[in-house]
Structure formats: structure tokens, C-alpha cells
């Protein structure tokens, strides 16, 4: 039963979506690739110490057309170019919001975990190769490129916005938590609209860091399978315009928790994750039966999938359509929450977009409770009175950070 909305609980909506990842370079390309369950950017890449299977953005970001304006040249790095590629897709909606509300009433809240760390890696690598040479460095580097907090202020400046702008970095829940923070700004009347989402870029720090934890797979990730071997790191950006004005998708509920079980391993029982899921359902004013689809965190690591399958079986005892989409995007880390919210948004906002498929080898792990994976073309029911109009997206991070988001048509 829906709760009456007080002033502080007034509904907020997600309007325009800009997205780029291994599935494609814009929302239309991503929707088409999602329908085929094919990701052109997923494959083997070369790193400085070997090869890795990863999700890479194929847009030619090094070309001048992706560069920031001259006033922001000192911030030029792959991560910020990726951010600009997604921002360009929602620029018309942001410009229209500026006309209605004024630029000072529009904020920016973004999540990231690596920012421009790849830029400093390239600088150090070049410095090493030029150590015996008198040739000048050709890779411009400014420390602000790698500052974790730079993403949101950079985006705000690029868009000419004057509202609050800040970056959240809580590992793999970063951009999921950005949605909750953006909603607070709107409900507190500090903003009339907020650009919200996340961005993260492939870099050696995460590729080799997760490899050192023995958490990566040399082949396409295989979530919830008995044969799962780990994650594929990915990169991407996903951005929305959120406001109190009615739009195609309502941000219906959110739940956050922190169980602090371990610095990198999840609580094996999923107690903290379950708190987040149930809090999101309560915030949306619905029970589990109202949810028509869940986008799983599903990293395909042994421990994470075990934890998530168990808590899903407890929260949804009657089952719910679910899939893990990281085989199509890679694990985009700080951008994962926003990326997977973007895929959920597409299923709600567009009648032609089916539920994302769960790509795996079909070999169920007998130690995990069975889940209702989307393995063939399925859609949310359409029209009033035809069933669930709600979807959920889950994110779980290092340090026991948990976040669950609920969206409604």
C-alpha cells in the first residue's frame, strides 16, 4: 500500500538518460545490443603485465571531439572524456532545466572509484620509458585528473551549473548511493534538478588489484554458475537528470546499510544486504511481490554470489525475475550502480526493451538456492492493472557497503 507523500517524501523522477559502456556508445546502441545480448566491448585486452578479459568503451575517446572545453583542459583524461560522452546525451534536458529553474538550482552528484588514476599511470609509465632520453614528456598531467572528488565539480563546470556538486566514492555502491544523496537535495529544496550517476575507467590499479585478490576471470564472467571464477572489470558512465517534475520513471525507494563485515569479503549470510533490500521495499511502500524484476549485483565471485543468492531467496520467497548484467558491461565498479539503474530504467521507460538476460553457462550451483533467471525474451507487464511496474537494482561493495534502489513506471 502506497504511503501518502509528505513534503519531505515528495516523489522524484528520472528523466533523460545518457550512457556509454561495453554495450555501446549511447542509449540507442545499448538498447539494441541489450536485445541481442551481445556486447561489442567485452573481450581480451592487453595490460602491462599480461592479458585480461574486460569491458571496454569502444568510442574513440582520444579524438579531439571528445576533449573538454579549453577552460577545463587541465582536467583532460580518459575518465573525464567518458563522463563528457554521457553528459552530451542529456545536455538538452539539462539546458531545458536551466531555463526553468536557473543554473544555480541544479546540482551534480556522481559516484566513482578510480577517477583519472589511469592518467597518472600513463604518466609514470612514460617517465620510466623516457628516463634515459632527453625527449620532453608528451602526456600532459595535472594532479586534479586523478582526484577522486573531481568528477562532479568537473561535470558541473562543463555544464555551467551552480548548484551543489560532490562526488561519492564507496567502491561498488558509489553511484547507487549517489541516487539517494541526489534525492535528499531535491527533498530538502536545495535543488530543483540534479544530474546524478557515475563514471569509472579501466586502469591498471583495478585490473591488477582485483587480479591480486584472485577475483578476476580470464574468460567472460559467469554469474551464479557452479563454474564461476570471478569478475571482468569494465568501464562506463551513466547519467540521469532527476527532479520533482513528473517523468517516465519514478525513483520509488532506496535502502542503505553498512555491515563492515570485512574489508573485501561480503558477510556470508548477507545480513547487511538484506537490511538494504528490505529498507528499499519499505521506502517504496511495497512488499516483495510488487517487484517485477531485480538486477543482481552478481559479480560471479564465489562469495558474493553465494551471499546474494541466499538473501534473494529470503527477501523474495515466491521468486522474482532476475539477472546479472555484468557479462554485458563488465563490473564498472563506481559506475555499476548507475549503469545497472540505467538498464532498469530502459525496461520501464521503453516498451521495446526486454528484461536484460542472464548470460551464463546454465550450470546451476547446487549449494545456492535456485533463482528465476531471465534466460529468454521477457518483458515487464504493460498498462495499468497488468501486474508489477517496479524493478529493483542491488549493489554491494567492499567494506560491507550495501545499497538497493527501486524504480517504478
> How does pLDDT run across 207-233, given as a tens digit for each residue?
999 998 889 999 999 999 999 999 999
Quick check: is 172 catalytic?
yes
For residue 1, the model assigns a pLDDT of 34
Q: Which helix (H) or strand (E) holds 344?
A: helix 336-349
3-state DSSP call for residue 161?
coil
Q: Is residue 263 part of a domain?
A: yes
* Residues spanned by the domain of 162: 12-408
Report the mean per-residue pLDDT for the chain.
91
In terms of pLDDT, which residue wins out, 268 or 386?
268
Residue 267 clears pLDDT 90, i.e. is over it: no
Q: Is residue 5 part of a domain?
A: no
Let me know the angle formed at the C-alpha of 310 by 368 and 55, rounded to the nearest 5 degrees: 80
| Residues 26-39: tens digit of each pLDDT | 999 999 999 999 99
2: confidence class by pLDDT, cuts 50, 70, 90? very low
Q: Is residue 2 part of a domain?
A: no
Select which of 15, 77, 191, 297 is catalytic.
297
CA 19/CA 249 separation, integer angstroms:
16
| Residues 162-171: tens digit of each pLDDT | 999 999 999 9
For residue 129, the model assigns a pLDDT of 62
User: Do residues 138 and 126 touch, judged by C-beta distance below 8 A?
Assistant: yes
Select which of 15, 77, 98, 172 is catalytic.
172
What's the grid cell of residue 215?
Answer: 577475483
Residue 383 backbone zone (phi > 0: left; psi -120 to 50: alpha; other: beta): left
Phi and psi at residue 170, to the nearest 5°: -130, 45
Q: Is residue 3 part of a domain?
A: no
CA 295/CA 220 separation, integer angstroms:
18
For the residues 371-391, what does the mean pLDDT come to? 83
What's the grid cell of residue 359?
Answer: 548470460
Strands (E), 146-205: 165-168, 193-200
HSE value, Cβ hemisphere, 13 Å, CA-based, for 369: 16
Quick check: is 203 catalytic?
no
Let me know the angle formed at the C-alpha of 405 by 333 and 23, rounded to the nearest 5 degrees: 45
Select which of 15, 77, 98, 331 is catalytic.
331
**Residues, the chain:** 409
Task: Return the exposure string of 115-152: e unless at least 16 CB atoms fall within 10 Å of the residue's CB, then b.
Answer: bbbbbbebbeeeeeeeeeeeeeeeeebbebbbbbbbbb
For residue 132, the model assigns a pLDDT of 54
3-state DSSP call for residue 230?
coil
Quick check: is 98 catalytic?
no
3-state DSSP call for residue 362?
coil
Residue 103's CB is within 10 A of a number of other CB atoms, namely 16
Q: Is residue 7 part of a domain?
A: no
For residue 268, the model assigns a pLDDT of 80
CA 375/CA 358 separation, integer angstroms:
6
Q: Is residue 271 part of a domain?
A: yes
Burial class (CB in 10 A: 0-12, 13-18, 19+), 51: exposed
HSE value, Cβ hemisphere, 13 Å, CA-based, for 335: 34
| Residues 82-129: tens digit of each pLDDT | 999 999 999 999 999 999 999 999 999 999 998 888 888 888 777 766
Domains contained in the chain, number:
1
| Residues 131-147: tens digit of each pLDDT | 555 555 545 778 788 88
CA 10/CA 187 separation, integer angstroms:
7
Q: Give percent of the chain above pLDDT 70.
A: 94
Q: Give percent of the chain above pLDDT 90.
A: 79
For residue 109, the model assigns a pLDDT of 98
For residue 133, the model assigns a pLDDT of 55
Q: Is residue 109 part of a domain?
A: yes
The CATH number covering residue 18 comes to: 3.40.47.10
pTM of the model: 0.93
Q: Is residue 4 part of a domain?
A: no
Amino acid at each position: 500500500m502506497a504511503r501518502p507523500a509528505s513534503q519531505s517524501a515528495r516523489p522524484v523522477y528520472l528523466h533523460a538518460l545518457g550512457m556509454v559502456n561495453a554495450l555501446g556508445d549511447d542509449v540507442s546502441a545499448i538498447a539494441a545490443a541489450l536485445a541481442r545480448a551481445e556486447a561489442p566491448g567485452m573481450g581480451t585486452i592487453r595490460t602491462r603485465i599480461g592479458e585480461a578479459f574486460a569491458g571496454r568503451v569502444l568510442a574513440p575517446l582520444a579524438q579531439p571531439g571528445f576533449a573538454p572545453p579549453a577552460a577545463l583542459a587541465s582536467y583532460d583524461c580518459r575518465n573525464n572524456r567518458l563522463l563528457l560522452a554521457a553528459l552530451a546525451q542529456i545536455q538538452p534536458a539539462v539546458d531545458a532545466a536551466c531555463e526553468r529553474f536557473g543554473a544555480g538550482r541544479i546540482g551534480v552528484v556522481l559516484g566513482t572509484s578510480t577517477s583519472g588514476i589511469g592518467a597518472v599511470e600513463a604518466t609514470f609509465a612514460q617517465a620510466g620509458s623516457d628516463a634515459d632520453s632527453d625527449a620532453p614528456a608528451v602526456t600532459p598531467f595535472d594532479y586534479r585528473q586523478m582526484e577522486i572528488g573531481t568528477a562532479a565539480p568537473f561535470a558541473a563546470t562543463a555544464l555551467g551549473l551552480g548548484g551543489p556538486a560532490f562526488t561519492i566514492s564507496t567502491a561498488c555502491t558509489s553511484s547507487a548511493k549517489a541516487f539517494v544523496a541526489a534525492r535528499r537535495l531535491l527533498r530538502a529544496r536545495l535543488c530543483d534538478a540534479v544530474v546524478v550517476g557515475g563514471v569509472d575507467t579501466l586502469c591498471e590499479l583495478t585490473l591488477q588489484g582485483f587480479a591480486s585478490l584472485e577475483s578476476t576471470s580470464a574468460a567472460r564472467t559467469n554469474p551464479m554458475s557452479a563454474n564461476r571464477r570471478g569478475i571482468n572489470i569494465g568501464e562506463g558512465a551513466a547519467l540521469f537528470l532527476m527532479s520533482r517534475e513528473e517523468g517516465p520513471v519514478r525513483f520509488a525507494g532506496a535502502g542503505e546499510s553498512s555491515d563492515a563485515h570485512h574489508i573485501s569479503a561480503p558477510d556470508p549470510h548477507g545480513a547487511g544486504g538484506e537490511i538494504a533490500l528490505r529498507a528499499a521495499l519499505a521506502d517504496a511502500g511495497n512488499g516483495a511481490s510488487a517487484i517485477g524484476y531485480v538486477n543482481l549485483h552478481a559479480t560471479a565471485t564465489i562469495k558474493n554470489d553465494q551471499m546474494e543468492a541466499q538473501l534473494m531467496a529470503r527477501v523474495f520467497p515466491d521468486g522474482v525475475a532476475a539477472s546479472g548484467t555484468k557479462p554485458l558491461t563488465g563490473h564498472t565498479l563506481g559506475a555499476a550502480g548507475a549503469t545497472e539503474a540505467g538498464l532498469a530504467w530502459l525496461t520501464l521507460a521503453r516498451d521495446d526493451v526486454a528484461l536484460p538476460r542472464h548470460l551464463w553457462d546454465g550450470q546451476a550451483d547446487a549449494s545456492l538456492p535456485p533463482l528465476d533467471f531471465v534466460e529468454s525474451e521477457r518483458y515487464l507487464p504493460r498498462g495499468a492493472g497488468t501486474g508489477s511496474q517496479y524493478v529493483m537494482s542491488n549493489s554491494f561493495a567492499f567494506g560491507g557497503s550495501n545499497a538497493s534502489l527501486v524504480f517504478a513506471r
